[in-house]
Each structure stands twice: as C-alpha cells, then as structure tokens.
C-alpha cells in the first residue's frame, strides 16, 4: 500500500497482522490500533502534542526502577487498572470484592506468626487487626496466606523511604489457623498522595486533579482451591473516599477502624479492625472446595 | 464515587478532569480515556495481559537514550506517526507531500556548501542529488534550508554505529541559491530494518511483521513564509515500497535514482537523483509569499 491517508491507515496497519500466528495477540493489537487511531483522529492530535506524548511516555518509562512503577501509576490514575480488575474480578454475591493491586507490594515481606507486630517501627497509632477468611458457605479457610502491606501515619510505604534501604516494615505475610483466623498489630494508615515527583504527578497537576488516596490497608489472600483475592480495607471516615485518585473504592471495602482511648489490648490510644474476607472457589474447583 | 464498575468508570475518570483549566488538555485526556477504556473492554484485557503491557511500555521507555527513541519507533510501527502527519500535513494539490520524521534526525548535522560530499566516508555507491525548491506557482524559493539525512549501503545511520561516537556522516544542512537550487553528493541508500533489538522489535516478530523500510533519503526543508516540509524520497524499485514497516510511502515521493556505469560526474558506477520540492505558503503568509 503506497498511498496511506488518515482514512485507510487503520485498515493498512491491521492488515499487517495477517501473518501473526497468535490469535489473541492479533485480536488485542487490532483492537488497540483501532482505538488508538480513533483517539488521534477524534482530537486531531497535532504534531507538537504527539511529540509531547512521546516525551511523556519516555519519561514515564525512565522513572521506573525496582521500587517505582510509574506506568502502573499512570494506569491507576487513568482508571485502566481498576477497569481491568472490574472486568476480571467479578465475584458472586457475598464474596469479598477486589480492587487495584497498586505499585507498593514487594515479594520479600517477612513471614510472621499470628500476633506479630508488623509495624517494625513504622510511625502511627497502634492498630490491632483480626482477620477471618471463610468460603461462600461461611466455612473457615485454613492455612490461607494473608499478605498485608500499608502506608504509615506519614502516608509513606517503606519502599518510599530511601533511608530504610531494603528494610521492610508495615508489611508481612501471615497464615490463617484451622478456624480461618489470624491477627496482627500494625499502625493506623492515613490518606496519602500518590508520588507526584514524576510525569504522572505533572499530569495530575496539569489536569486539575488531587493526588490523594483514602487511607487503607492492602490484602492479598490466597489459598489452594480459591480465587486469589487482591483488595484493600478503607478506613472510614476519610475525606477522599469519594475521590480516590486511582478509583479503587468500593462501598463493601470501607471498614470501621474503631478508636479506643485506652483498652484491654494496650494502655493508651489505639484502634482495632475486624474483617471477614469471603473467598470464592476457583473455577473448576467446585463451590466451597476445601483449602487443601 | 464509591462503587466503580466496568460500566461507570469511564464517566468517573472523565469527571475528574472537571477542574482542568486547560480546555485542550481536558479534551485530549477525555478522548484518550474513552478510547483506552473502550479498548480494554472490547478485548476484555486480562490481568496478566495488563501486566505484560506495563512491562512492555516500561521496557520501551528504558530503551530510549539520546540516540534511540523506542517510543517514536512504536508510534511509527503502529501507524500513529503517519496518521498524525496525514491529519496535520494535508497540502494543496501540487505541493510536495509530507511523511514521517523518523527517529534518526540530529540537530548537529554539519552545515555544508552546495556541492559538498555529505557522505564523509559512509559506505555506498556515490549518489549525486540535485534539489530544486519552488513555491506553488513554480517560483524559486531562495535561501531555503535543506536538511538531509540517510542510511548508508549497510542500512545504518551514523547514530547507529557506536564506533563513530559523535561523528556525523551521511547527513548535512544546505541552503538553496537564488534559483532555489542546491546539490550535494552522498551515497545510494538501501532498504533497512528498523532496530529490532528492543521491545518494538520483539513486538514486530511476535505479530508476524517484517521490520523493513524501503530505501530513502530524508529531507527537512524550511524557509520563512512557507510551511516546513518533512519528507522522504523513496528509491524505486524497492521490494518494500508496498509494505514499509512505518507506513510512510506515498506514490508522489517515489523517485527515480538513475544508475550510471560511468559518466561525466564520476568515473565508475554512480547514481543521480533530481527532485523538485514544492512548498506551500504558511497560513497567513499569503500564497507565494517570498522566502524572506
């Protein structure tokens, strides 16, 4: 094809995928090209705007390292992450809803016993969390892995504090007991802005958006025979519950963090949180399959 | 908004741009989000595919440096660059057509006098190029800047040869004389593959596409009062004229490179190329405005 114009170019690009022997890749690329071209045509993208887009994407890639994933942040703030979660994580009524994974999970969190203080020095009011993991019939899911991570009272994750090096805090991996239960101590999370010192922060400012996420604790819960659940518990009240910068809030995930001036667990101010997570069975595993 | 789902999320994201005080940015972002979400919904993007997309974009950004622009290459190979050119560079009948800029232009090409050999040691059969720059009425455009760059007979640009360091060859900047003419010596370009050692190369392979561009010489021509022209002259014949990996070929830009076994310009094999470039007046400059 020698005379490409704005009308026939989409067809011309898609025709080039004719020899692609991966039908799913062909489908994804053809759809991507169609929608990307429709966008460019709809706004009649100018050449300086195109160049600005190239610069933005390049800077976004170059901001990424082992502790910072600026493209996930971009996807999060444009609602693409939550849309992908919503498309893939629809669950039956009664099962705990999923939300975005976020960029701050690490694979090297300490494995700790029930009752541990995962804060490990992270600043904040003490928080005592009791977790129960059950199936759709309410039966305990024993030996489920409960991976938790969160920001401290300054709104920072450990990986955002260069002074900590590879030290991990305010994160840990627990296992449920025979009753599907575990518990741990941590700190009360606070609302925090997503990182604004990169290209995505510039885009938020330029587009008149605030960078805040409502306070939350992340949970990744897995057990054989069940669908892995990646979710948060959001602290109520929080000024950003209705305007989470990454669109991750679901009403069912807003949980009461109960404040105590002093109490049986601790002398002095602290909070408590109890939550029951309901897992649904993995496709093919049969409803209510045992955990092991 | 606390209960985002796959149906209402697009509206929710667009609503966040309500406070954007740049109407064009708001328009571009709203359209981008709409089409990006439509793509994700249409293919029902899976979470592993989403992660693969994040990895691909990150690797593409990290492949970029001062001599390599992998995001431009991605845009080129998906037809986005040529679509943007086509949308912005429509020109009146008779004016020379524009095509993609490509990633290999540099701002430090030597400024040379008419008749110079810009090859500077680049390998290839000698090529003598005569350029004429005129307006739509056929009147010469004097003192136009003619910036040329090209690959050598091995299909490589100078910036792709690490051994050259910052040495520039097979590129140069000339100026037209009072008759709108200039001429230079270079080498006959050959077809070449775009760089395939990065993420875009992997995508081409995975999607069953060849990475070749038909042989061409790049021209960037500018003169006060005229629209800047960024284009190529393609060598005829070439096996890739119908399947340029970046969709840049336009019939009007296919030019005869005439081969001579020996001739008045040189003893031994060489080629000649003559081309008349027709510039159209800049908007507001009035048709046929003088060059200065």
Of A29, A79, A241, which has the smallest distance from its Cβ to B12's Cβ?
Answer: A79
pLDDT value of residue A45: 98
Taking the CB of residue A111, how many other CB atoms lie within 10 A of it? 11
CB contact under 8 A, B83 and A40: yes
Please report whether residue B264 resides in a domain: yes
- The pLDDT tens digits for A80-108 are 999 999 999 999 999 999 999 988 999 99
User: Are residues B102 and B175 both part of a single domain?
Assistant: yes
CB contact under 8 A, B40 and A250: no
Please report whether residue B233 resides in a domain: yes
Distance from the Cα of A179 to chain B's closest Cα (Å) equals: 31
Tally of domains within chain A = 1
pLDDT higher than threshold 90 for residue A209: yes
Report the alpha-carbon distance of residue A170 to residue A157 in Å, rounded. Answer: 8
Q: Which positions in chain B touch A27 (Cβ < 8 Å)?
A: 43
Q: How confident is the model at residue A22 (pLDDT cuts 50, 70, 90)?
A: very high
Please spell the DSSP secondary structure of B72-123, one letter per residue.
HHHHHHTTHHHHHHHHH----TTSPPP----S---TTPPB--TT-BTTTT--
CB contact under 8 A, B1 and A31: no
CB contact under 8 A, B79 and A248: no
Please report whether residue A138 resides in a domain: yes
Report the alpha-carbon distance of residue A271 to residue A190 in Å, rounded. Answer: 13
> Among A29, A57, A25, which residue's Cα sits nearest to residue B79?
A29
- The pLDDT tens digits for B122-176 are 999 999 999 999 999 999 999 999 999 999 999 999 998 999 999 999 999 999 9
What predicted TM-score, i.e. pTM, was given to this entire model?
0.90
Q: Which positions in chain A touch B213 (Cβ < 8 Å)?
A: none
Residues B233/B275, Cβ–Cβ less than 8 Å = yes
Of B29, B207, B243, which has the smallest distance from its Cβ to A17's Cβ?
Answer: B207
For residue B166, give the CATH number of its domain: 2.60.130.10
Q: Which positions in chain B touch A251 (Cβ < 8 Å)?
A: 2-3
Q: Which positions in chain A touch B250 (Cβ < 8 Å)?
A: 2-4
User: Are residues B36 and B127 both part of a single domain?
Assistant: no
Residues B137/B107, Cβ–Cβ less than 8 Å = no
User: Are residues B21 and B135 both part of a single domain?
Assistant: no
Distance from the Cα of A223 to chain B's closest Cα (Å) equals: 19
CB contact under 8 A, B57 and A62: no
Tokens read off for B114:
């008419």
Query: Over the Cα atoms of chain A, what is R_g?
Result: 22
Taking the CB of residue A237, how many other CB atoms lie within 10 A of it? 11
Please report whether residue B219 resides in a domain: yes
SS3 call for A10: helix
Report the alpha-carbon distance of residue B67 to residue A139 in Å, rounded. Answer: 60
Residues B109/B184, Cβ–Cβ less than 8 Å = no
Write the DSSP symbol of residue B234.
E
CA-nearest residue to A100 within chain B is: B47
User: Cis ω on the peptide bond leading into residue A263 (within 30° of 0)?
Assistant: no
Domain assignment of residue B13, given as a range: 9-45
User: Are residues B272 and B142 both part of a single domain?
Assistant: yes
- The pLDDT tens digits for A24-58 are 999 999 999 999 999 999 999 999 999 999 999 99
pLDDT higher than threshold 70 for residue B288: no
């Amino acid at each position: 094809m020698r005379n490409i114009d704005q009308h026939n170019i989409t067809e011309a690009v898609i025709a080039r995928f004719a020899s692609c022997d991966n039908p799913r890749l062909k489908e994804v690329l053809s759809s991507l090209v169609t929608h990307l071209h429709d966008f460019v045509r709809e706004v009649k993208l100018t050449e300086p705007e195109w160049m600005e887009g190239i610069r933005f994407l390049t800077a976004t890639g170059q901001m990424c390292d082992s502790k910072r994933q600026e493209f996930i942040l971009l996807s999060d703030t444009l609602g693409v992450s939550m849309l992908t979660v919503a498309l893939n994580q629809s669950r039956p009524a009664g099962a705990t809803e999923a939300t975005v994974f976020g960029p701050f999970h690490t694979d090297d969190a300490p494995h700790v016993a029930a009752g541990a203080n995962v804060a490990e020095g992270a600043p904040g009011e003490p928080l005592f969390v009791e977790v129960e993991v059950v199936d759709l019939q309410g039966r305990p899911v024993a030996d489920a892995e409960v991976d938790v991570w969160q920001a401290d009272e300054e709104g920072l994750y450990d990986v955002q504090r260069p002074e900590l090096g590879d030290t991990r805090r305010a994160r840990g991996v627990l296992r449920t007991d025979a009753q599907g239960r575990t518990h741990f101590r941590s700190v009360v999370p606070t609302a925090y802005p997503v990182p604004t010192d990169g290209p995505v922060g510039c885009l938020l400012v330029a587009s008149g958006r605030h960078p805040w996420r409502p306070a939350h604790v992340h949970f990744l819960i897995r057990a054989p025979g069940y669908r892995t659940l990646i979710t948060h518990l959001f602290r109520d009240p929080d000024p950003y519950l209705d305007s989470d910068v990454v669109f991750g809030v679901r009403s069912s995930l807003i949980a009461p963090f109960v404040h105590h001036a002093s109490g049986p667990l601790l002398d002095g101010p602290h909070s408590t949180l109890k939550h029951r997570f309901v897992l649904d069975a993995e496709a093919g595993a049969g409803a209510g399959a045992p955990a092991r």
